[in-house]
Structure 1
Amino acid sequence: MKTIGLSAIALVALAAAGCDTLTGGDLVRPGTATGTLTIVNATYGNLDAIVMSECSAMSYGFNRLEAGDYIPQGGARSFTVSAGCWDVGGGEWAGVEGYKRVNVPAYGSMTLTITE
């Protein structure tokens, strides 16, 4: 019984330690230089989801848009992120998806256009 309890604690600790790799982590890490990542919607519909994570993460993480929010056709949204490598994706509900690896410069900006 004690072994099962210790195993459960170890599993929870491991899961908590890896949370950032599943959620995508914070867009800005404390003490790092930042840049601006602008996502432009060049699709024929609304982008309902924007996912992004540092390139070292295991997944793109959760949607960075608020519930019910979207980037309209022809619109854009900017995010302040820590400078460096980011895996970014955007998609329409039941439609187009686009993914790209980008490098956001410190104190600069990067624009990613998602197309059909």
Structure 2
Amino acid sequence: MRWMKVMMALACLGVVSACSVVTGGPLVRPGEPTGVLEIANGSSHTLTVILIADCSGMSYGLNRLPSGSTIPPGRSYRFTTSAGCWDVSAGLAYGTTIYETRFTTQVRPGRLTRHTVTGR
């Protein structure tokens, strides 16, 4: 019976870990200081996808913009994140073509880190 409980616990842990890989993990990790990552759209196209993942993550994960949200040219969006290294990918929609801009950034505790996406 004990063996069965251990196997169930490991299976649950595997599911939780897989979710972190798929989603890119939480932007704010419990107990860590936070900062703000601002993505500004300096292109002439609308940003429709922002992917953000911890630099040590295995995947960029899912879109971090709220459902139905975009970042039009000249506008920006702010994300509260744990301080540290983040990989970011921003998608520019242009007709049926998607252009991506990727960068790595350091978010400092209590500070605003701003990046302007200009496209290709």
Under TM normalisation by the shorter chain, which class is it?
0.7 to 0.9
Aligned to 2:104: 101
Taking the aligned partners of 1:67 and 1:10, their CA distance within structure 2 comes to: 32
Aligned to 1:4: none
1:67-86 correspondence to structure 2 within 5 Å? 67-86=67-86
Taking the aligned partners of 2:12 and 2:80, their CA distance within structure 1 comes to: 31
RMSD, aligned CA: 2.1
Q: Identify unmatched segments of 5+ residues in structure 1.
A: 1-6
1:1-116 correspondence to structure 2 within 5 Å? 13-93=13-93, 94-116=97-119
Taking the aligned partners of 1:76 and 1:12, their CA distance within structure 2 comes to: 38
CA contact (8 A) 1:48 1:71 kept: yes
The structure richer in strand per residue is 2
Aligned length: 111
Bigger Cα displacement from structure 2, 18-27 vs 65-74: 18-27
SS at match of 1:14: helix
State the shift of 1:16 in Å: 3.0
- Give structure 1 regions of 4+ aligned residues with deviation exceeding 4 angstroms: 9-13
SS at match of 2:115: strand
Residue 30 and residue 11 in structure 1: after superposition, are their counterparts in 2 closer, same or farther (change >3 A)? closer
Taking the aligned partners of 1:36 and 1:75, their CA distance within structure 2 comes to: 16
State the shift of 1:87 in Å: 0.4
SS at match of 1:26: coil
Cα deviation per residue 1:19-61 (whole Å; 9 max; x = unaligned)? 2122111111111100010001011110000010101111111
Bigger Cα displacement from structure 2, 18-27 vs 104-113: 18-27
Taking the aligned partners of 1:112 and 1:34, their CA distance within structure 2 comes to: 17
TM-score relative to the length of structure 1: 0.84
